[in-house]
Structure 1
């Protein structure tokens, strides 16, 4: 479906350096103006369930007069490739519209780091499990299109790609580094793999095509949906599998072993590895569950290795990436990009 797109006022484009990063001009700040289609609604029409607006880092006072802790600054990681599709069809027009909504209503001037799949990023997991993303074309993906990279750099967004790794692994690695520096992290992606990262300081913001807006997904949302802590998310998915990524669950081997059984066992034992180790020496559940855990332990461990995000990719966050993003080029860069692909019928 077509997404409501904020129109943009005229701001002169900045010159682009040899490195492909736009050099800011001294011009008045960017101002995004709602189109008639969206003017009747507030900015919440493009983002839902957004956390409260950040306060300054100065200490504020609680109602009892005691100082409250300053809010940690946010860093956004943008998972590029999924945004370049409408359904199963490649669409750079869709990418442009999602990016415009993201900048105008979600990230604002907070730092944004865009991450792409590296060359051969799927190969490690495909060697472990040939069915992993077997229905998807091999290669670096649409996100690596030079036009996508150019528009991101034109909007002063650093672009990261590490060959041999998927974007998910790079985001997980950089998230660990950013948290250690005292920031909060927001991962912008529809990919459910990132739910294993959710914590008090890590949340997701997802594009929702059905309503044409971004929606925040936090620790509170996760607990309400799954009735368990996100630290058990990866272990739970090992039982349930991931049909979209070609990772089969245990149900096709043990039809009676469903989500309810998995959640109950994980709540008691904490993690898949603890559960499997315990089941190897004593009974942990009903006969069908005990039999499944002992007979198919290697199967579940392989699922764990395939589904877990790596945190040890050889990439380092740069301090310059954590600076307030210069938005002065957003208007001209995004307008040109969106108009081009709409007029060429590629949206």
Structure 2
């Protein structure tokens, strides 16, 4: 696991400014870090899915991360705690053993380069992103052999275990299966160029049922982008009707085994593709047992006094990369 291990290139002005800040007044009863910043209790923790923010459509674009982070820090989180999660090396292997086609078409990127070689592309930008996050007092987590989605799901569970609300900042629809009274989504809508919260209320308004059906719904429909096949001939209307009635994929398959689902073609399709659906369930279920720890400090208020300087630094770094 990587946690705030990336150091900024040389002794940057950003680092020197952070070290030279004077101590702020200490609030009574608050936890204080090494430079005197008072760490207050909070009601929510944001968990940031970094990788999807680095794309404009399907194309890698480092400037997108800068744009979304500027809006995220200035308008949304303020001093609430944030945890940033990167994809680990070989993170897809677990699911590819179950379904070899899983994300087979995704572009592969080189490991993060801590030496800050001046090269183009996301490979060079990732190191700068980590440095930027560190300067914003945002811990960085990267667990090898684990997908970021599973790390985020695990951290969200641990946040809830501390009686706090978890807010997952990501455009990934996989996280809808986690939506509850204690887990919200914060979705970046590229066409609107704004972040938007997504809650249980939003899910119910959209689907006319509770979020508990989401995983089964995705198993029935599949996910072409991730190489997960759905049940042939099943459209969204049919899948929604089945999930609203049965509540979960397990209940649906149990009913199909006793031929109590309904129309013959649906009954036959579920029986024929039951093995596929069981694989989909294993592949699409987010794991919440990844070996990652949530320190108490990550659930206290964040010192945001360096955000503006960090954003300016990252903008200059990315401009330099474009000129190389």
Per the normalisation by structure 2, the TM-score is 0.82
Distance 2:83 2:282 in 1: 26
Query: Which residues of 2 match residues 69-218 of structure 1 at below 5 A?
Result: 73-139=43-109, 142=122, 145-218=126-199
Instruction: From the superposition, tell whether residues 264 and 89 of structure 1 become closer, same or farther in structure 2 (CA, over 3 Å).
Output: closer
CA drift of 1:199 comes to 0.7
Q: Is the 8 A contact 2:42 2:299 kept in 1?
A: no
Q: Give 1:15 deviation, angstroms.
A: 3.2
Q: CA deviation at 1:89?
A: 2.2
Q: Displacement of 1:27 after TM fit?
A: 7.6
Asked if 1:223 is matched to 2:181, the reply is no
The answer to whether the 8 Å contact 2:79/2:301 transfers is: yes
Q: Is the 8 A contact 1:276 1:297 kept in 2?
A: yes
Indicate the SS of the match to 1:114. Answer: strand
Q: Please say if residues 169 and 309 of structure 1, whose CA atoms lie closer than 8 Å, have aligned partners that are also in contact.
A: yes
Q: Relative to structure 1, is the Cα distance of residues 23 and 170 closer, same or farther in structure 2, using a 3 angstrom cutoff?
A: farther
How far does the alpha carbon of each residue in 1:46-76 deviate from its partner, in whole angstroms, 9 at most, with x for none?
xxxxxxxxxxxxxxxxxxxxxxxxx970100
Report the Cα distance in structure 2 between the residues aligned to 1:236 and 1:124, rounded to whole angstroms. 22
1:185-208 deviation digits (Å, cap 9, x = unpaired) = 110000000000101121111111
Residue 259 to residue 87, structure 1, CA distance change in 2 (3 Å)? closer
Deviations 1:238-295 (A, max 9, x none): 01111221212113xxx2x222222222222221011112211232110011101111
Residue 27 to residue 244, structure 1, CA distance change in 2 (3 Å): farther
**Gap regions ≥5 residues in structure 2:** 1-12, 26-40, 113-121
Which SS does the other structure have where 2:213 is aligned?
helix
Q: Deviations over 1:97-137 (max 9, x none)?
A: 21111000111110000011111001111222122111112
Tell me the SS of whatever aligns to 1:338: helix
User: Aligned with 1:15: secondary structure?
Assistant: helix
In structure 1, the partner of 2:218 is 237
* Counterpart for residue 293 of structure 1: 270
Aligned equivalents of 2:318 and 2:281: distance in 1? 40
Deviation of 1:28 after TM superposition, in Å, equals 8.5
Can you give the 5+ residue segments of structure 1 that lack an aligned partner in the other structure? 1-11, 17-21, 30-70
What is the rounded CA distance, in whole Å, between the counterparts of 2:247 and 2:240 in structure 1? 10
TM-score by length of 1: 0.77
Instruction: Provide the rounded CA distance (Å) in 1 between the counterparts of 2:293 and 2:146.
Output: 14
